[in-house]
Amino acid sequence: MRILFVGDSMTIGAAGDHTWRYRMWQHLTRTLPDGSPHIVGPRTALHEGSHAYADADFPAHARAHLAGWGEGWLHMARVVRETVAAHRPDTLLVSLGLIDLGFYTDPEQTLANVESFWAEARAADPLLRGVVLPVIPNIRAATDPSFAAACARFNTLLAKALADLSEPRSPLLLASVPPDWSLERDTYDGTHPSAEGEHRMAAAFADALHQAWAVGGPYRVAPSD
Give how far Cα 125 sits from Cα of 31, 88, 172, 174, Å: 26, 8, 14, 20
Q: Which CATH superfamily is domain 2-213 in?
A: SGNH hydrolase (3.40.50.1110)
Task: State mean pLDDT over 108-133.
Answer: 98
The yes-or-no verdict on residue 223 having pLDDT over 60 is no
Tell me, what's the pLDDT at 172?
98
Average pLDDT, the chain: 96
Q: What is the pTM of this model?
A: 0.97
The yes-or-no verdict on residue 187 having pLDDT over 90 is yes
Task: State mean pLDDT over 111-139.
Answer: 98
Fill in the amino acid letter for 157.
L
What is the DSSP track for 45-83? --GGG----SSTTS-GGG--BEE-TT--HHHHHHHHHHH
The beta strands (E) that lie in the chain are given as: 2-7, 38-40, 66-67, 91-95, 129-133, 172-174
3-class SS of residue 173? strand
Tell me the pairing of strands 66-67 and 91-95.
unpaired
Q: Are 43 and 75 in contact (CB under 8 A)?
A: no
Task: State mean pLDDT over 38-61.
Answer: 97
Confidence of residue 225 (pLDDT cuts 50, 70, 90): low
Task: State mean pLDDT over 5-20.
Answer: 98
- For 221, residues 6+ apart whose C-beta sits below 8 A from its C-beta are 199
Domain boundaries, the chain: 2-213
